Amino acid sequence: MAVLVDVAGVSAVRPGRPLFEDLSVTVSDGDRLGVVGINGTGKSTLLRLLAGVDQPESGVVRKGRGARVGFLDQRAALPAGTVRAAVSAGAAGSGAGTGAVGGGDWEVDAVLDRLGMAALADADVSQLSGGQAKRVALARVLVQPAELLILDEPTNHLDLAAITWLEDRLAGHRGGLVLVTHDRHLLDRLTTRMLELDRGSAYVHEGGYASYLDARAERDERAATGEAVRRNLARREAAWLRRGAPARTRKPQARIAAAEALLAARPAEPARRGDLDLHFGTPRLGDKVIEVEHASAGYDPDGPLVLKDVTLSLDRRDRLGVVGPNGAGKTTLLDVLAGRRPPASGRVERGPTVVMGVYDQHGADLDPSARVRDVVAGPARVPGTPEDNLLMERFWFTGDLPWARVATLSGGERRRLQLLSVLAARPNVLFLDEPTNDLDLDTLRVLEEFLEDWPGALVAVSHDRAFLERATEHVVAVGADGGVQEVAGGLAGWLAASGVPVAADRAGGGRTPSVAGGGAPPRAAGSPARAAGSPARSGGSPAGAAGAGSRSGAAGGGSGGRSASTLSFRLRETEKLIGRLERQRDRLAEEMAAAGDHVEMARVGSALAEIQGQLDDAEEEWLALAGEAEAGR
């Protein structure tokens, strides 16, 4: 296979800490590389180096002979002019060679339409919102001829239909692909290798998103085992050193030095300390939360109406997902519910115990000179209280980070800080507008864990399928006509009703797997476990060659070779998935019993059958995992 880009021994640092050191990796024709890591580890920096936009502080980046690169940057700049002209400029000179994505001007309008920008094709790019500009930049990359696509968060600001179309297009790309995304379905379907950045080190995992989760769990288990061994050695050496001062003078000095070093050693600090526990201090929510009757609203007070005759009620433990095409009015609905936009007509009432927190797409304007601890405290509290310190630690702002200036944080770290500042106000009704944009996968998984047991109400606007499947229990859809309707069957019911195609999984067909808990989709017992990651470092050998690590095949007796910790994690996540599906099934059964006509019964019955099928699959997966765990004992 032709080498598209080769990275040898590159390093990048930020003030006070390295991003990555001595990293080597090769991307060849046909490779599908996903890049993951917590906010601030250098994912976007690495992509800019691969694309040739920036130069490494050390090491070299070599582009393959004749390899054309299409790069979607988070800070993409568009040329002046109309939207169509900006995208057509990217397609200029098309007629790409074998394996390249791209087309001529004939494709520009089609791609803009798929990305929801056809209506603005003749608009000037200077008039676009940030999300619209990102979609135009994505269209510009997709229509240009390129053997290597490097995409930084391509699903941000796309609706579910556009994401599904993008999946199919990228799956058909015959060149190379490097992808940073929070969309776990996209990662699991498209990637064949994962590059994990973790506190200056890099690890390559052969296989997709599931292999990364398996390998990281196994690495954590090895680290815990190594720490147990170190402690036992330390105890023995400590006993040896305590055998009296006279004897110590006759002990070999080298062994004394080794023992003292062993006692002083500490295990590597975890990337993030502890679990995210933010339930404390949440005020009790009364029976009345938010009631909306016949409300209408628009983007502007004097502009046309976007929402029309909306009636809904929010319960104190509701987990409400809001879906719909871009521009339908999802954010407007959230703003009306949160009291940030008064309705043009109708009634909106909130209960007396409601304390609202809003995390929107843009976030609060943070003072670049402010310190993290000041942002968390806000204007009403003194920074550095024990409660705020505990909150920052639980949200992984540890070490020197509480004292860091906002200007030194990465874009993802700023978004995480904005979320933390919302939660620090201790709301009991939480509004999340596209919360998965620019947050790393670890934050999303732990936020989902937090929301499962949080004693408050949630309204979430999101295009992230994994987040909606886990964090919400019922869904309302905002239609192009301005109406808001509850959808039987949750997200799956809406996708089926709206005609959005469900992409086949990477293995070739079948139902798209549900990524429970942000983890890997269910895998049949007895299938081979993917390779654990090994450091992608030094020696001049690319990470692609060195990253295979140890590979575990299927063992006799049906064991897939997975560790006990991995199996335990999968069992817990599958149990949670079963619980969510059972709640959805019971709710649909109640709707079926109350259905007033055969049309409604058919609609609810179809959604009920879909949920029951998912529940059956999850129960079979649980039985397979339990059998595998039992066989490994």
pLDDT, mean of residues 359-367: 79
Per CATH, which fold does 290-498 belong to? Answer: Rossmann fold (3.40.50)
Are 466 and 520 a contacting pair, CB within 8 Å?
A: no
Domains 3-213 and 290-498 share a fold: yes
Residue 244: its pLDDT value, please? 53
SS3 state of residue 165: helix
- 261's enclosing H/E stretch is helix 253-264
240 token code pair: 């040896």
**Is pLDDT above 80 for 630?**
no
Contact 293, 320 (CB under 8 A): no
Provide the pLDDT for residue 240: 56
**Range from 254-263, 466-475, 568-577 that averages highest in pLDDT:** 466-475
DSSP codes, 581-597: HHHHHHHHHHHHHH--S
H or E element, residue 487: strand 484-487
Note the pLDDT of residue 525. 30
83-91 and 130-143 helices, crossing angle to 10°: 30
Query: Is 338 exposed, middle or buried (CB count within 10 Å of its CB: 0-12, 13-18, 19+)?
Result: buried
Q: Per-domain residue ranges for the chain? A: 3-213, 214-264, 290-498
User: CA 227, 231, 237, 242 torsion: positive or negative?
Assistant: positive
CA 463 to chain centre: 11
Token code pair at residue 133:
């500009």
Is residue 85 helix, strand or coil?
helix
Distance CA 514, CA 17 (A): 37
Beta bridge partners of 27: 5
Between residues 587 and 127, the one the model is more confident about: 127
User: How far is Cα 35 from Cα 31, in angstroms, rounded to an integer?
Assistant: 13
- How far is it, in rounded angstroms, from Cα 270 to Cα 132? 38
Q: What integer pLDDT is reported at residue 509 of this predicted model? A: 37
Q: Where does the pLDDT of residue 503 fall: very low under 50, low under 70, confident under 90, or very high at 90 and above?
A: very low
Beta bridge partners of 17: 14
Whether 529 shows a pLDDT value over 80: the answer reads no
In this structure, of 219-223, 305-309, 510-514, 595-599, the range with the lowest mean pLDDT score is 510-514
Strand order in the sheet with 290-298: 305-314, 290-298, 345-350
Residue with tokens 């290597």: 148
CB 145 within 8 A of CB 95: yes
Q: Which residue stretches of 407-557 are H helix?
A: 411-424, 441-453, 465-471, 490-498, 543-546
Please compute, for residue 284, the number of CA atoms within 13 A of its CA located in the half-sphere on the CB side.
Answer: 2
pLDDT bin (cut points 50, 70, 90) of residue 195 is very high
Question: Dihedrals φ, ψ of 550, to 5°?
Answer: -85, 135
- Over residues 323-331, mean pLDDT: 87
pLDDT at 603: 77
Which CATH code of 3.40.50.300, 3.90.1650.10, 3.10.520.10, 3.40.225.10 fits the domain covering 3-213? 3.40.50.300
Question: Which range has the top average pLDDT, 238-242, 243-247, 479-483, 589-593?
Answer: 479-483
Task: DSSP for 6-44, please give it.
Answer: EEEEEEEEETTEEEEEEEEEEEETT-EEEEE--TTSSHH
Report the alpha-carbon distance of residue 176 to residue 544 in Å, rounded.
13
Do the beta carbons of residue 126 and residue 155 sit within 8 Å?
no
Count of C-beta atoms within a 10 Å radius of residue 255: 12
As to burial, measured by CB atoms within 10 angstroms (0-12 exposed, 13-18 middle, 19+ buried), residue 562 is buried
DSSP letter for each residue of 341-370? S--SEEEEEE-TT--EEEE-SS-----TTS
100 contacts 68 by C-beta, under 8 angstroms: yes
Q: Give the angle 516-521-525 at the CA atoms, nearest 5°.
A: 120
Residue 73: count other Cβ atoms within 10 Å of its Cβ: 18
The pair of structure tokens assigned to 62 is: 């070599």
Nearest to 397 by CA among 266, 279, 221, 278: 278
Please state the rounded mean pLDDT for residues 160-168.
90
Please name the residues in contact with 53: beta carbons below 8 A apart, sequence gap of 6 or more. Answer: 71, 73
